[in-house]
Structure formats: C-alpha cells, structure tokens
Amino acid sequence: MLNITWFILWGLLWAVYFMLDGFDLGLGALMPLYAKNDTEKRMIFNAMGPFWDGNEVWLITAGGVTFAAFPKTYAVMFSTLYTPLLMILFALILRGVAFEFRSKIENPGWRKIWDWCLIVGSFFPALLFGVAFANIFKGIPFDVQGMFHGNLFTLLNPYGLAGGLFFLFFFFMHGALWASVKTTGMPAERAKNAASKLWIIVLILAVIFLIYSKFATSLYNNYMAHPIMFIIPLIAVIALIMVRIFISKSDWWKAWFASCVTIVAVTYFGLGGIFPNLYPSSLDPAASLNIYNSASTQGTLKIMFVVVLLCIPFVIAYQTWHYITLRHPVNEDIIHDDEAY
C-alpha cells in the first residue's frame, strides 16, 4: 500500500513539475514570437521571472523523491538516460542564468546571448522531457544489470518524437496562455492569437499520440483491465476541450487552469499505463523496475511519507500565495522598475 501511495506521489511531483515549468519552458521557447523589441522581451522575462525558479524545484524534488523512494529506478533511469538528461541539465542551467543576467547590462550583444540561452534552453527540455517519457511508456532498452543497449538516437524513434512534439506544443500553448494573462499590450495580443492556433496543433498531436500509444506501447492494458481508469484520459480530453471554450470566451485565467488540469491528467494517463512499473525495460520484462523491486525499505518510505505529508501542503499553500501576490499583468513600465529582469 505504501509503495502504491509513493507511486501516486511520485507521479504527482512530475505532473506538477510539467504543469508549472511547462508554461515557462513553452513561453521561453517562443519568446521571439510574442516580443519584437527589447521592452516587450523584458515583459516576457518578467512574466516568468518570479516563478521559474520555484517551478524548477518541483523537478529537483521529483528527482530527489525518485532517489529516496525508488533508488534503483533513480540509478538506472539517470545513468541510462545520461546524454538526454545532461542536455536538459545544460539547457536549464543556461536559461536559469539568462533570467538573472540578461537585463543587468545594457548592451544589445550581451542581451542577445541571453535571449538565445532562454529560447534554446527552454526548447530542448520541453522536447526532451516528452521524448524521454514517451520512451519510458514504451520501455527503455536496458538489461537486468542496468546496462543500456542503445544511444541517444535509439530514443529518437518515431513514437519518442511523437511524444516530444506533443509535450513541446502543449508547453507552447500553456506558455501562450500564461503570456495572455501575465502580459499586456502587443505581447498579450500576439500570445492570445497564438494560443488558439496552438490549441488545434495540440489537439492533433494528442490524437496522434493516443492512437500511436495503442500500437507502440502496452499502456492500455491497465485501462482494459480496469476500465474505471479511463476516467483519467477522459478528464484530459474534457479539460483540453475546456481550454478551447475558455479561449473563445477570452477567459484566459480559466483557459490556463484548464490547461494545467490537462497536463496533470496526461501525465497520470501515461503513468497509470505503466503501473506498477516505474521504468520498464523493452528488452527483458524481468529487468523492469517497479514500485516493489526498486523501492527503499518500508521504514524509509514511512519516514519520507510523513515528511511529504507535513511539508507539501505548506509548499502548495505558500506557492499559491506567491502566485496570487504576484499575479498582476506586466506592462511596459516594468523596465523602469529597479528590481525587474
């Protein structure tokens, strides 16, 4: 039971990570689409400025919790995905620094460097997380010893790329919705415009991904065995439709919330499909790492459960307060603010 609880919590951390960092990755990658001059670029930077760091901590915690609750999964996952993970890491490093450094110096060359760090550093994690998770859904070629039989290009298979594009465009849309609520003027107009177009692409990619999953993975086995679980993809579908409805009503905050719900549901849809595995092997079912054979001791799981139960509600409370306190849309005056990025 404790192991199952930890599976759900583990999924929650990834889901919240994608839900939160998803918008600033998607917005960062498409910044040039919404911002045409320096002031507008700074508006975009500042729309994400107070949040990107706290969002990224969900990734650190997801990694830390994988380490704590399922150390063997952590070890095999991180070492077999060495190259893509380090690419994500470098990207996150460069984009993180870009926030702090970019506007400190008034030199167009300097600013251009950091703009590119943000764009590239946002694009690749958005794509690669999708590629990585799609491959996990499908199974990764590793053996009982945890040896990886493949390379970076093994992961760039059609299904992996379908997952990557789905994540990428979902984050694009999620980011466009965020820019719609958090900026004003031209950037907001452009983002609103983009959001409705991106929604159609997301829909198409979602349909492709769902159908492709039927052929490329065994995700649906759990759903066939327990049809009640279909409620998860159903929530995803309804929430995605709600995004469109709210967009057409120009109710941007609600559209963003609906997009959040979709991301959480999509994450759980995939994880629900691999349960009780955490990191399935495509070579040998005996090598697959699941919530039992890769778990920490019951003692550690209990202690960690208490820690999480005590801390996470507080984290959610103060992060919510933080979002509410700094929810105001950013306008052009931001560049006169001494603290602004």
**Which spans of this chain sit near other proteins (rule: CB under 8 A)?**
49-51, 53-54, 56-57, 59-61, 63-65, 67-69, 71-72, 74-80, 82-83, 85-86, 89-90, 92-94, 96-97, 99-101, 104-105, 142, 145-148, 296-297, 299-300, 303-304, 307-308, 311-312, 315, 318-319, 322, 325-326, 338-339
Dihedral angle sign, alpha carbons of residues 298, 301, 304, 305: negative
Please give the torsion angle defined by the CA atoms of residues 176, 178, 179 and 183, in that order, rounded to the nearest 10 degrees.
Answer: 160
| Cβ 246 to other proteins shortest distance, Å | 27
Q: Report the residue number, 219 or 278, with the smaller CB distance to other proteins.
A: 278
Closest CA to 77 of 288, 285, 279, 292: 279
E strand or H helix that includes residue 170: helix 158-182
Residues 6+ apart with CB under 8 A from 129: 18, 88, 167
Using a 10 angstrom Cβ sphere, with 0-12 exposed, 13-18 middle and 19 or more buried, the burial of residue 243 is: buried
| Cβ 94 to other proteins shortest distance, Å | 7
Q: Report the residue number, 139 or 233, with the smaller CB distance to other proteins.
A: 139
- Cβ atoms of 210 and 162 within 8 Å: the answer is no
| Cβ 231 to other proteins shortest distance, Å | 29
Q: Which residues pair with 277 in a beta bridge?
A: 290
Q: Report the residue number, 250 or 325, with the smaller CB distance to other proteins.
A: 325
Q: Report the residue number, 146 or 185, with the smaller CB distance to other proteins.
A: 146
Q: Report the residue number, 128 or 243, with the smaller CB distance to other proteins.
A: 128
- Cβ atoms of 246 and 173 within 8 Å: the answer is no
Q: Report the residue number, 211 or 326, with the smaller CB distance to other proteins.
A: 326
DSSP string, 25-75: HHHHHTHHHH--SHHHHHHHHHHHTTTHHHHHHHHHHHHHHHHHH-HHHHH
